[in-house]
């Protein structure tokens, strides 16, 4: 089964989990970067405001073709209890995703809030089927047991949904 793992990570936690997932399923990793820049002083507030408003931002790559895959996994940090504007833009940027199964995960600092519900809404708005959602605390990204649990939620077999 071919899996595409699309993630955004500012400080490495989400990237770390994405790499564990790729090692478990041989999936292709796509690292989303935000092209907008902010001053160090204000960026925390700006990021929170944009995330809370479920905004999108400009990203690299700007378009992602997933038509050759059987499943997509999206990964994001939690910002202001929601997924980030960059992963929102990435979900919007996927091409060839209609009817495809998708799962999502977030890394967080203890309060994931509405992240799972918002992820599901964005995924289903693009015509994908959201078949799994998982959260992992930033302190657990190296925890083997938690990582295995996450993998079992996120990587679906090829049976029809």
Ligand X SMILES: Cc1cc2nc3c(=O)[nH]c(=O)nc-3n(C[C@H](O)[C@H](O)[C@H](O)COP(=O)(O)O)c2cc1C
Give the whole-angstrom CA distance, residue 155 versus residue 30.
16
| Beta carbon of residue 86, minimum distance to ligand X (angstroms, whole number) | 10
The strand pair at 59-60 and 28-34 is best described as: antiparallel
Which stretch, 9-17, 21-29, 61-69, 143-151, contacts ligand X (CB under 6 A)? Answer: 9-17
Give the whole-angstrom CA distance, residue 93 versus residue 91.
5
Q: Does 9 bind ligand X (CB under 6 A)?
A: yes
Q: Does 48 bind ligand X (CB under 6 A)?
A: yes
Give the whole-angstrom CA distance, residue 135 versus residue 82.
12
Q: Does 120 bind ligand X (CB under 6 A)?
A: no
Which stretch, 8-16, 34-42, 90-98, 119-127, contacts ligand X (CB under 6 A)? Answer: 8-16
14, 57, 71, 147: which one contacts ligand X (CB under 6 A)?
14
Q: Does 10 bind ligand X (CB under 6 A)?
A: yes
Count of residues for the chain?
161
Tally the C-alpha atoms within 13 A of residue 37's C-alpha that lie toward its C-beta.
Answer: 1
């Amino acid at each position: 089964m071919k899996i595409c793992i699309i993630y955004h990570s500012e400080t490495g936690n989400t990237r770390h989990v994405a790499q564990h997932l790729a090692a478990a399923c041989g999936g292709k990793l796509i690292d989303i970067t935000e092209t907008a820049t902010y001053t160090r002083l204000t960026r925390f507030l700006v990021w929170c405001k944009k995330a809370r408003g479920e905004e999108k931002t400009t990203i690299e790559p700007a378009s992602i073709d997933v038509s050759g895959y059987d499943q997509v996994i999206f990964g994001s940090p939690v910002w202001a209890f929601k997924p980030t504007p960059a992963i929102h833009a990435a979900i919007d940027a996927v091409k060839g995703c209609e009817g495809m199964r998708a799962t999502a995960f977030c890394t967080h600092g203890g309060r994931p809030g509405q992240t799972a519900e918002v992820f599901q809404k964005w995924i289903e708005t693009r015509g994908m089927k959201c078949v799994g959602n998982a959260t992992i605390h930033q302190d657990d990204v190296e925890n083997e047991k938690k990582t295995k649990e996450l993998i079992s939620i996120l990587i679906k077999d090829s049976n029809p949904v």
